[in-house]
Amino acid sequence: MRKMRTPLAPRRAAAVIAAVLLAGTVAACGNSDTGSDAADDGRIVLGFSQVGAESGWRTANTNSIKEAATEAGVELRFDDAQQKQENQIKAIRNYIQQKVDVIGFSPVVESGWDTVLKEAKDAGIPVILTDRAVDSADTSLYKTFLGSDFVKEGRLSGEWLVENSKAATGDVNIVELQGTTGSAPANDRKKGFAEAIAADPKLKVVASQSGDFTRAGGKQVMEQFLKAHPKIDVLFAHNDDMGLGALEAITAAGKEPGKDITIITIDAVKDGMQALADGKFNFIAECSPLLGPQLMDLAKKVHAGEEVPARIETEETTFTQEQATEALPDRKY
Ligand code: AHR
């Protein structure tokens, strides 16, 4: 026969109920660890929404931000949006709810931020844009922009090509691997490059498509380009990773990268620099991911109510094959 359960003695039952309630409270506090009001320990709390982990550049950028936060004594709440705007909007709303001191983010695309930025402004939380810009007409929605001049990177790439195509007699057919559609670097690099190559009518972009800044995307789109265009002289890839993916497609098609097809990319991460030093790439315009220390400095300043410049651009250079060989041993990322 099954034993009957004895009801709890009233005192013990009360103790159990109290323990359950207490456990609930503790669990709620635990969950709100990332959701608590900013810094009871006096540290600035920075909520940062990162684009994703699409490239070597992005990994270096994330590392720079995390390391700089530790160094600067800033409490960093970090979110990886996996290249999706809706994830970034969600993360920013969470940071507003958590009442962080400052919000930083690198917007995956340029448009569609006004509503959420207005919510941050209404909540009195200053916003810092890093790496990528937004196209909001109301610039009071953010305090400052810290990052690169992407138009210049595209222009420098195009100018190098103009200079190095002088000896060519016929048309020079160019294919372009664009970054993420609608992103500031894709829009601006395309623009700068087009402006520069307009100086030489021999230079013709015969195909241009997005590879989403990834190696896989670069490989896949380059395969299509190679099938559709029997004569490709130049590849302009908006980042190293897409260029590296394209190398595989070019080699598989029986062509020699860097010789049969001239390859120009942007970023100058280690793998890209190695390809340049190895003669597989021909030119790289640098885009620096090391924004962490400046971001922490700006976060402290805007939190303290100090005036900061509306736009802060990173210093960058360009690399030929010889310069890459020289720079590689000291390359940090
Ligand atoms: O926004 C910067 C760009 O984004 C880098 O050039 C690219 O590699 C990254 O994914």
pLDDT per residue as tens digits for the range 141-189:
999 999 999 999 999 999 999 999 999 999 999 999 999 999 999 999 9
pLDDT digits (tens, 9 = 90+) for 117-129: 999 999 999 999 9
Ligand 1 centre to CA of 2 (Å) is: 68
CB 207 within 8 A of CB 229: yes
Calculate Rg over the CA atoms of the chain.
25
Output the CA–CA distances (angstroms, integers) from residue 118 to 30, 39, 127, 139, in the order listed. Answer: 30, 23, 10, 11
Alpha carbon of residue 225 to chain centroid: 26
CB 144 within 8 A of CB 291: no
CB 160 less than 6 A from any atom of ligand 1: no
The residue to mutate among 150, 183, 215, 287, having the most atoms of ligand 1 within 8 angstroms of its beta carbon, is: 287
Rounded Cα distance, 51 and 91, in Å: 11
Determine whether the shortest distance from the Cβ of 57 to ligand 1 is under 6 A: yes
The residues that bridge with 204 in the sheet, in sequence order, are 173
* Distance of CA 55 from the midpoint of ligand 1 (Å): 7
Q: What is residue 87's DSSP assignment?
A: H
Q: And the tokens for 235?
A: 């590849």
Residue nearest atom 3 of ligand 1, based on CA coordinates? 185
Q: Residue 238 CA: which ligand 1 atom is closest?
A: 6
Return phi, psi of residue 210, to 5°: -80, 135
Distance 254 CA to ligand 1 centre (A): 29
Token pair of 48, please? 């940062």
Instruction: Tell me, using a 6 A CB cutoff, whether residue 75 lines ligand 1.
Output: no
Does the beta carbon of 283 sit less than 6 angstroms from any atom of ligand 1?
no
- The tens-digit pLDDT sequence of the chain (333 residues) is 333 333 333 333 333 333 333 333 222 222 233 444 555 678 999 999 999 999 999 999 999 999 999 999 999 999 999 999 999 999 999 999 999 999 999 999 999 999 999 999 999 999 999 999 999 999 999 999 999 999 999 999 999 999 999 999 999 999 999 999 999 999 999 999 999 999 999 999 999 999 999 999 999 999 999 999 999 999 999 999 999 999 999 999 999 999 999 999 999 999 999 999 999 999 999 999 999 999 999 999 999 999 999 999 999 999 999 999 999 999 989
- Bridge partners of 175, per DSSP, are 207, 235
Q: Which of 60, 58, 66, 64 is nearest to 83 (CA)?
A: 58
Is the pTM here over 0.95, yes or no?
no
Rounded Cα distance between 35 and 96, Å, is: 10
The DSSP code for 108 is: S
d(CA 179, CA 177) in angstroms, rounded, equals 7
